[in-house]
Structure formats: C-alpha cells, structure tokens
C-alpha cells in the first residue's frame, strides 16, 4: 500500500511533499522526514476554514485545501476502499 502524500507550503514559497499518517476533518497528521529523523505534526483548520496550518520546530506549515475539500477527499477515499472489500 502506497503512503498518501500531500504538498504543503513552508514559510516563504518552499513546497514540500509530506506523508499523511491520519486524515480527518478536524485535523491532518503529517510526518516530515524519514527514519529516525522524522517529525510528526498536526495541521488544524484555520479560522476561516480555507486551509490547514501547523508548526514544526518553529516553522509554520500550510496545507492550502479547505475543510470542505478535505471532507470530500475523505469521503472519496472511504468509498474507494469500501468497493474493494465488497464481494
């Protein structure tokens, strides 16, 4: 099974691809780095619900997808995984 990855923006214009360990509407857990040097972070919705934001080691990380878009992504992923389990 392939790890789900998303692109997040770090302070400035740097874009990183990070691994998603858990995705829910109220928060997205991401893993930055590999092996023993990885760091976990929870991205939470912003006040206007237009993005998710979090902080790793003092650096702000932004995932520019709204809560509604993430909710639709989760529903689509659940639907696709359900189709594989049915007979």
How does 37-71 read in b/e, with b if 16+ C-beta sit within 10 Å?
A: eeeebebebeeeeebbbbebeeeebebebebeebe
Q: pLDDT tens digit string along 39-75?
A: 999 999 999 999 999 999 899 999 999 999 999 999 9
pTM: 0.85
**Is the CB of residue 28 less than 8 Å from the CB of residue 43?**
yes
Q: Is residue 6 classed as helix, strand or coil in its secondary structure? A: strand
């Amino acid at each position: 099974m392939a790890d789900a990855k998303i692109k997040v923006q770090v302070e400035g214009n740097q874009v990183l691809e990070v691994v998603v360990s858990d995705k829910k509407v109220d928060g997205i857990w991401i893993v930055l780095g590999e092996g023993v040097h990885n760091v976990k972070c929870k991205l939470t919705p912003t006040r206007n619900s237009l993005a998710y934001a979090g902080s790793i080691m003092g650096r702000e990380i932004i995932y520019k997808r709204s809560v509604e878009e993430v909710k639709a992504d989760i529903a689509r992923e659940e639907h696709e995984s359900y189709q594989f389990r049915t007979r």
